[in-house]
């Protein structure tokens, strides 16, 4: 007999993603603000002031340096019984960050952005402090794997918008958009979501609540990060 999900044509693993899917619905407005931000819209319609892109580049490099530590902490905190392929996925994410940092350095020379002379702005400092708090020993693995998924999926969905068929993204910004908007990165995000839901399914309601709060906090931090990049008054 066909299961309910087969009848509806939903992929068989989808029951594992119920919790994160419910959050995406519950916080759809905020998620939209984090992914369809004026910064992204203006890349997509070709009107972004390149100075905003340069500001984003310098700030995001600082963020990614902190994110390396965060990702390493996710790997360290993974419970002993974590499936090997889940560990390998996170390890692959860390390896990709090595290439990402090289890409940032290459872009810095193209755009003449001096990373060493760049100071983190408030939204960036706040976001990095949020990551630092998540790295504390008492924070559960479930909470940080959810945060990791949320951080990645926002960039994935945002930059994918700039690659849609009718987008007028300037050629100079295409590489950045492809870095996070490509199909491989999307698959990485889907895999992270599955790991997050697996962990959530085994968590107590109390910890599930903490993870949802972390998810919402990531979205708010992402909105502030775009605001900062788009407008230097922030």
- Residues forming the site for ligand HMH (CB under 6 A): 60, 63-64, 67, 151-152, 154-155, 222, 225
- Interatomic CA distance for residues 37 and 205, integer angstroms: 32
Tokens for 204? 């107590």
Contact 143, 194 (CB under 8 A): no
Check if 222 is active-site. Answer: yes
Minimal distance in Å, beta carbon 42 to ligand HMH? 17
233 exposure class (CB count in 10 Å sphere: 0-12, 13-18, 19+): exposed
Which positions ≥6 away from 184 have C-beta within 8 Å?
none
The residue among 23 and 61 lying less far from ligand HMH, judged by its C-beta, is: 61
Q: What are phi and psi of 112, to 5 degrees?
A: 55, 50
The residue among 174 and 207 lying less far from ligand HMH, judged by its C-beta, is: 174
Minimal distance in Å, beta carbon 37 to ligand HMH? 11
Tokens for 17? 């993603």
Q: What angle do CA 206, 208, 211 make, to 5 degrees?
A: 115
Residue nearest to ligand HMH (CB): 155
The residue among 67 and 230 lying less far from ligand HMH, judged by its C-beta, is: 67
Minimal distance in Å, beta carbon 47 to ligand HMH? 21
The residue among 123 and 203 lying less far from ligand HMH, judged by its C-beta, is: 123
Among candidate residues 66, 107, 222, 224, the one labeled active-site is 222
Minimal distance in Å, beta carbon 63 to ligand HMH? 5
| Active-site residue list | 222
């Amino acid at each position: 007999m066909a299961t309910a999900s087969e009848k509806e044509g939903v992929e068989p693993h989808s029951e594992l993603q119920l919790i994160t899917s419910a959050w995406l619905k519950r916080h759809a407005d905020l998620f939209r603000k984090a992914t369809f931000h004026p910064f992204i819209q203006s890349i997509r319609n070709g009107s972004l002031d390149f100075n905003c892109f340069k500001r984003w580049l310098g700030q995001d490099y600082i963020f990614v340096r902190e994110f390396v530590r965060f990702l390493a902490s996710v790997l360290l905190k993974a419970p002993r019984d974590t499936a090997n392929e889940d560990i390998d996925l996170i390890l692959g994410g860390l390896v990709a960050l090595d290439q990402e940092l090289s890409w940032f350095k290459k872009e810095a020379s193209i755009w003449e952005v001096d990373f060493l002379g760049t100071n983190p702005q408030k939204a960036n400092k706040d976001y990095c402090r949020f990551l630092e708090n998540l790295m504390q020993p008492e924070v559960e693995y479930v909470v940080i794997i959810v945060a990791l998924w949320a951080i990645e999926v926002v960039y994935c969905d945002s930059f994918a918008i700039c690659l849609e068929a009718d987008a007028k993204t300037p050629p100079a910004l295409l590489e950045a958009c492809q870095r996070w908007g490509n199909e491989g990165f999307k698959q990485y995000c889907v895999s992270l979501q599955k790991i997050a839901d697996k962990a959530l399914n085994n968590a107590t309601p109390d910890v599930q609540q903490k993870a949802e709060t972390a998810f919402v906090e990531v979205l708010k931090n992402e909105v502030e990060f775009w605001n900062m990049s788009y407008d230097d008054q922030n």
